[in-house]
Amino acid sequence: MMSFTIAIDGPAAAGKGTLSRMIAAHYGFQHLDTGLTYRAAAKAMLDQGLPLDDEVLAAGFAGKVDLSGLDRSVLSAHGIGEAASKIAVMPAVRRELVEAQRRFAAREPGTVLDGRDIGTVVCPDAPVKLFVTASPEVRARRRFDEIIASGEAADYERIFAEVRQRDERDMNRADSPLKPAADAHLLDTSEMSIEAAFRAARSLIDAALKQE
């Protein structure tokens, strides 16, 4: 039996992480948030006070990322996301991490990978590709609400500016920019609940599973 891979891409804070976890739990598939792999490499460099603009050095850290030791609660810090986005523009870093991600994707019985380039580069043959998006205003508002709910202070205008800046960097880099694969299904969650997005995703996945 071959592994069945579901590729989920989209910009930061579009809801793809939550959706990916729900899909993986529903189908009994293993899930990899590939953003965490970029974050883990960036954090290792930050911890040692190393400059983030040295590609050879960064690729060395990327090659050492252990997929079984990715801790979301540690890696979700905003500063780590910014650092990850900087080293993610480097082709040598991407080569290392993409290789590890492809090995993960082959795990049986199936896998869900989410990120920016899963449908276009990491798993171009995935039988289901979703591109989950939402307007920058909605994404900034969700981030803002999350921070407030966690009891911290937040500034909406600043978060909105950061969302735009991250989009800019992820969409305009030369290597593997964020964009939907030609055969990806678009899910705009701006005015859709996570349950409705999950239902839409399930009907696409169920249809693809029937064809296997």
CB 117 within 8 A of CB 37: no
Cα–Cα dist 98/102, whole Å: 6
> Of the two residues 161 and 207, which places its CB atom closer to ligand DC in the complex?
161
User: Is position 84 an interface residue for ligand DC (rule: CB under 6 A)?
Assistant: yes
Alpha helices in the chain (DSSP H): 16-27, 34-47, 55-63, 72-75, 78-87, 91-105, 136-149, 156-172, 194-210
The residue from 120, 170, 189, 197 that contacts ligand DC (CB under 6 A) is: 170
Cα–Cα distance measured from residue 97 to residue 63, given in angstroms and rounded to the nearest whole number: 7
For ligand DC, the binding residues in 19-48 under the rule CB under 6 A are 34-35, 38-39
143 binds ligand DC, rule: CB under 6 A? no
The CB-of-84 to ligand DC minimum distance in angstroms stands at: 4
> Is residue 96 near ligand DC by the rule CB under 6 A?
no
- State which of residues 7, 8, 110, 116 lies at the interface with ligand DC (CB under 6 A): 116
Minimum distance, C-beta of residue 36 to ligand DC, in the bound complex (Å): 6
Distance CA 89, CA 175 (A): 7
